[in-house]
Structure 1
Amino acid sequence: MSQYKGIVEVIKPGFYTSVQDLGRPGLGHWGIPISGPMDEQSYLLANHLLQNDPPSACLEMTMTGGTFKFHHQAIIVLTGANGKAHINGKAISINQVVEIAAGHELEIGPFYKGTRMYLGIKGGFKTALSFESRSWYRGLTKYFRCPKGLRIPFEAVAEHSHNNHSKVGIDDSLFENNVLDVYPGPEATEMSNGNFEALFEKSFHLSDLQNRMGIQLSETFKNHLKEILTAPVYPGTVQLTPGGKIIILMKDAQVTGGYPRILQLSPESINILAQKKPKDPIRFRLKEF
C-alpha cells in the first residue's frame, strides 16, 4: 500500500499524458535518455507557483487534456498551453493556483494555444522512482503514458490549507515566437560552401511525424553529407539525413545517432519548439559559442 494518502484517478487520459520530472541527465553511457518535460519553462513555473522543489513530478499533457478525479483534497495549477479547464463545471484559469476538494473532477479540453500543458500538484506526484527519476519512458518504467483508470498517488494536503491563489500572466513568447536559436553542430563544417548558410534563409514547417523522441520537418534540404559513425546526441540536436530530412531530437531521444549533427538548439528554443503544432512555421537563427 502507498505511503501517500492522496489519490487522483485518471478518468480520461487525453491524447498523450505522462508523468515527468527533470529526468535522468548523465546516464547516456548506459543508453538511458534524459526524458523530462518537453517544455521545461512551463514545468518549472508550475512547481514555482506551488512552492514545490523544482524536480517535483507533474503531469504533461499533449494536444488535449483529460479528466481527473481527486479522491483527496489537493492544491493544483495548470501551466503551459492554454485550453478550457473546469473543476466540477466551474471554469479555472491557467497559471492560477487553486484548491480542488475531495471527490471533485478536473476536466481539461483541447488546447487552443500551444501543444503541452502541465498539471502540477502541491508536493508533486509520487509515482515510482526509476534511476532516481519519476519521468516515464517506454521500456524503463511501468507506464509511458496514462491509461484510463490509473490511480496516481500524491501527498494529501490539510483540510484547511492557507493558499494565496497566486497567478501570473501567460508568457506568450513560447507560443508566438517561431525563431529557434541554434549553435553549429559537430558536422556543420562538413557542409558545402553556402549550404550551411542557406539553413538560415528559409522557413521550415513541423510535420505530423513527431513525438517525445523527435520532430521531423516537412521540407527536405539538399546536401552532400554522408552518414557518420554513431556519435552522441542530445535533446535539441538537429540531424540532417543524406536524403534531406531534418530531424530535431527531443527529450526522449536516443543517446547516439548516425546522421550528421548540423545544429544544436538552445534550451530556450527547445521550450518554444515543444509548444508548436504540426504545420507551424519555424526559422533557425545562428548563435556563436
Structure 2
Amino acid sequence: MQIELIETFLDLMETRSFNRTAERMNLSQSSISHRVNALEADLDCKLFVRGKGGTVPTAAALRFFDHAKALQQNWHEALRAVEAAGSYEQSMRIGMQHDVAEVIGAEFLKALRREMPGTSFYLEADYSNQMNRDLGAGDLDLAVLYTPHHLPDLHYERIADLSYMLVSTKTHSLEEILPDDYIYANYSPAFDRAHRMAMAHLTAAPLTTGRNMMVRDLLLTLGGTGYVLKATAQEMISTRKASAVSDAVDLMQTVYVATTVRSRHRSPHRRVLQILSELAQRI
C-alpha cells in the first residue's frame, strides 16, 4: 500500500472535500479520486460517499481512520530512521514553542548532546497548532508547547509555568496606559483568557502578536506597553529601555511536553522529558 494513498485518505477525512484536499495537496481533483479509488480497491470497501452536502466517510472509513494514522506515523518514523543512518544510533525531531526556545533552547540542545551522544537531534521553533498536527502525522517525535489538543493518540505532561510581565516605555501605571499605545500579546488561548480577565479594558489594540521577541521589538521601535517574558522584562528594565507597570499582575503560561501515546514510555523520550523537566526548574 502506498503512503500517498494513506495521506490522501487522512486529509480527506479532515476536509470532507475532494476539491479542498486537491488544493491542499497541490493535485488535481481527478488525482485525488484515483488515489481514493486505489485505496478502496486495496481494502475492498467503499470509504466515501459524495453528495450535495459534501463528502461523507462510510463506517469502514471511520474504522480505518486510527489505523491509517498509525501507518502514517510508522512510515515517517521509518524514513527518519533511514535518513539518520550512519554513526548515530537513532534520531529525534523535536518542536518547541518559540518563547520556550528563547529561554532554554540552547541549554536544552547542550544537555541533549552531553547526555545522549548516540542520538542526532533536529529542533525547530513553532506554534502549538502546527506542532500538534506534526505529532499526529508522525513528523515530530516530541513537542514542547503551550496549547494541548488532547487528541486520543497524543499524551501531554505539564512541566512548567512561564511568567509574563507588563512593561512600558511610556508609563508606570495601568491607569495611564493608552489603548492606542498597547501591544496585545496573544501567546495562546489560555494566555488570552487570563489577559482578558486581568486587562478587560485593553483587549482592543492596534497591534497583536504571539511572539515574545516581536512584542519586545515593537516596544523598542514604536514605544508603548505590552506583556513580555519575565526574563525579557528584567533585561529591558535593567538597561532602562522600559519600566515595569507596577500595579499590573504577572500572567502565567503553562508549558506542556507532548508525544504519542505509544512513544511516551520509550527510553529516549523519557530521557528527553527528564532533561526538559530539569531545565524547566530554571524558568
TM normalised by structure 2 equals 0.25
Q: Of Structure 1 and Structure 2, which has the larger fraction of its residues in strand?
A: 1
Higher alpha-carbon Rg: 2
